[in-house]
Amino acid sequence: MIYFRKNDEVIEKYQVDFDKEEIEKLKKEIINNCSFIQHEEYESDYSPRFTDEIIRNFTYTPTGKEKEYFEETRDIYRYSYDEYKPPYLVKLINQLLNGNSKAIDEILNYDISTKSSIDDRINLANQEFSKIAPEDITKKKEKLKELEDLLKAKELNKNQQSIDSYYNQLIGLIKFDLVDSLSISELGRIESFLEIKLSGVEISNSKGKPFVKSLKKAD
């Protein structure tokens, strides 16, 4: 994969290489250990439809109840499953594995510090509960139900790990080799001389995190 990077007044061209199997393995570890797990359980006469969701522990059992429609009568089932919501980094890894060089910028600039923890959400819900007027029983019940769900979610996610170490592993698996470089002024002269405008090449800005791998210019 070729990656262009603007560094001050120079455009650098890198050859980017990585072991797909190793990154796929790392992606699975991130999904297993860093995803936020949300448990869903409800009754319906229609089975859930999943697209890109990561679903585990899926079960369904008949309730013995039915729902009548004008044209048919349908059995009602109780559905139960855990939905794994991986960090955004997993989406970027998929893009990288699919050969999208744009993902490199986002990976290098990925912010691992912005995630709101379940404890933060519980504390916020507690603060909101304390501000509800004592006579507003309905809102208090709704907020108590929210707190109950958050506490259950905390227990479900008690083994969730920080993404920090996995992110560093990912960066370490991507190898950047400097192939060549070209000054922006020289590029401008080429465009002017040929009376053309070069386009269609994605060029990153150098404001991202520094590469972990050592960089070397090709002979």
Who has greater pLDDT, 115 or 57?
A: 57
Residues pairing with 82 in the sheet: 39, 56
Say if residue 8's pLDDT is above 60.
yes
Question: What is the reported pLDDT for 3?
Answer: 87
Say if residue 212's pLDDT is above 60.
no
Instruction: Answer left, alpha or beta for residue 197, where phi above 0 means left and psi between -120 and 50 means alpha.
Output: beta
> Phi then psi for 175, rounded to 5 degrees?
-105, 125
Instruction: Tell me the pLDDT band of 207, cut-offs 50, 70 and 90.
Output: low
pTM over cut 0.85: no
Question: Cβ(177)–Cβ(17) under 8 Å?
Answer: yes
Question: Cβ(7)–Cβ(211) under 8 Å?
Answer: no
The Cα 79–Cα 63 span in angstroms is 10
Say if residue 33's pLDDT is above 90.
yes
Give the pLDDT mean for 48-55: 91
Q: Where are the beta strands (DSSP E) in 52-100?
A: 54-68, 73-85
Count the Cβ atoms, other than its own, within 10 Å of residue 157: 15
